[in-house]
Amino acid sequence: MFGSLLGTNPPFQGKDLSNMRGTSTFLLSLLGILGSAIALLHLLRGWQSKQFSKFILLICFALMAIQTARSAFRAAYINYDNAKELLVYAHATRDMKDSVEQIETISRRLYGDKSIRIAYDNDVRYPPYWWYMRDYPNKVDFNDKVTKSLQESPIIVVGSGNFSKSTPSCAMTTIATITNACGGPTKNSTVTGPSRKSLMT
């Protein structure tokens, strides 16, 4: 009802189709509220104020429980791999997981395990590459010091700040692009690896 009154099409503004629709929406909402109020007063007739207070409190807790369950379901099963869920403090997009899966695929096809040498910089250390790379014994965190020793790493993960410095010294092919923890476009990071197009086919 309040949405009809305060909206862009308030009631009782004219006789054309659009205004009549706004008027009918308001009247139906008003009738629904009045009917619900009458039915509630009839059901609560004879109740004591203490019982009524407990009933209202129970309704409030039930509504909060429903909202909590809905938010938990969305965070766990709908927005679990994107950056739209505000309930999570730091949420990465799916791009990061895709790049990690590609890194594992390359490592297993080249070495049969996760022993491939991976270098990453300070820009992608967090979002949590230090955690995703925990099972790779030959990982190298080169911070922001780009040297020719990077040529020893078949896979290099760099952020936008170090990408321009690393490309002249390494012959690499871009595999995937990931975003920062908030899913924003300001700190795009690029996973680069060996020029073996057959690895991903």
Domains held by the chain: number: 2
3-state SS of 4-48?
A: HHHCCCCCCCCCCHHHHHHHHHHHHHHHHHHHHHHHHHHHCCCCC
Q: Does some domain include residue 89? A: no
Does one domain contain both 166 and 100? yes
Does one domain contain both 31 and 112? no
129-159 pLDDT tens trace: 788 888 999 988 888 887 888 788 888 888 7
Strand partners, 78: none
| Residue whose C-alpha is closest to residue 118's, from 62, 151, 82, 157 | 157
Does one domain contain both 190 and 99? yes
Q: Does some domain include residue 138? A: yes
Q: Does some domain include residue 79? A: no
- Tokens 């008027």 locate to 23
Between strands 139-143 and 173-178, the pairing is unpaired
Q: Does some domain include residue 23? A: yes
DSSP reduced 3-state for 78? helix
What does the pLDDT read at residue 104? 92
Q: Does some domain include residue 76? A: no
Two tokens, residue 101? 């899966």
Q: pLDDT per position in the chain (201 positions), as tens?
A: 666 676 777 888 888 888 888 888 888 888 988 998 898 888 878 788 888 888 889 999 999 999 999 999 988 888 887 777 777 776 667 777 888 898 999 999 989 999 998 888 887 777 677 888 889 999 888 888 878 887 888 888 887 777 777 665 555 443 333 333 333 333 444 455 544 333 333
Q: Does some domain include residue 51? A: no
Does one domain contain both 40 and 99? no
Does one domain contain both 15 and 101? no
- pTM reported for the whole predicted model: 0.51
What does the pLDDT read at residue 186? 34
* Cα–Cα distance measured from residue 77 to residue 171, given in angstroms and rounded to the nearest whole number: 40
Does one domain contain both 36 and 132? no
Residue at 131: amino acid letter? W
Instruction: Tell me the residue range of the domain where 174 lies.
Output: 94-200
What does the pLDDT read at residue 92? 66
Are the C-beta atoms of 181 and 82 separated by less than 8 Å? no
